[in-house]
Amino acid sequence: MTTTTTTTTTTSMSEAPAAPAEFNGVPVEKLRGTIAKLTDNPELAAFQFTARNEWIEGTGTTSTIHEWYGVGTDHFHVAEFTASADHPTLGHGHGPTPQEYVLHALAACLAAGVATTAANRGIKLSRIDTVARGKIDVQGVLGIDPDVRNGFSSVEVEVDIDGDAPRDALDALITASAKRSAVFDMLTSPTSVVVTPKA
């Protein structure tokens, strides 16, 4: 099935688009422009993201995410974002567990990929609901049984999409998104993680 080239039009009767063209809220031309630029200048594709975490009390902490590096220069997010985490029974209610942030990260990454892939393929979406569930045997993290791993033993994600395309085309958005998802990759393949005291 070939897709049409995306010439986005707003559904309202306004005379001229006020902002750069967006499909499903994704600025498709800007995205394609970025891809073209990075294809010609791959050194600009080296990015780095950072989270700065500060302890509150017990198992409770807050991360601040503000600066990021990419396309050859330093940037700041539009705001200083924060996220707090804590333990559900042994903590003080500062936030959900780190493991749940991982599920959020996975769901967010996959859903963003679905929206973007759909935009690229000219498929209009009205809803993407993603539920991510992770099973974990806590004998691992509690040190009770050394044969049990610390992390999730399995993760299942259910993606529910409503859009302007046949069911198979919508299902294909999910597999395509997972193929290109950063968080899916991190969870399914080994990643080097080095933890050290500050020098």
In the complex, the residues that contact other proteins under the rule CB under 8 A are 1-3, 42, 155, 168, 171-172, 174-176, 178-179, 184-185, 187-190
Nearer to other proteins, 1 or 90 (CB): 1
Tokens 């010439």 correspond to 7
Q: Which of 136, 172 has the CB closer to other proteins?
A: 172
- State the DSSP string of 34-86: HHHHHHH-GGGG--EE--EEEEEETTEEEEEEEEEEETTEEEEEEEEEEEEE-
Q: Considering the complex, what minimum distance in angstroms separates the CB of residue 187 from other proteins?
A: 7
The residue count of the chain comes to 199
The minimum distance between CB 11 and other proteins, in angstroms, equals 25
Considering the complex, state which of residue 31 and residue 65 has its C-beta at the smaller distance from other proteins: 31
- CB nearer to other proteins: pick between 8 and 63: 8
Residue 166 to residue 111: CA distance in whole angstroms? 18
- Taking the complex as a whole, the smallest distance from the CB of residue 24 to other proteins amounts, in Å, to 18
Nearer to other proteins, 61 or 181 (CB): 181
Contact indicator for 178, 113 with CB cutoff of 8 Å: yes
Work out how close the CB of 15 gets to other proteins at its nearest, in angstroms, rounded to a whole number. Answer: 31
- CA quadruple 61, 64, 69, 70: dihedral positive or negative? positive
Alpha helices in the chain (DSSP H): 28-40, 98-120, 167-179, 182-188
CB 2, min distance to other proteins, A: 7
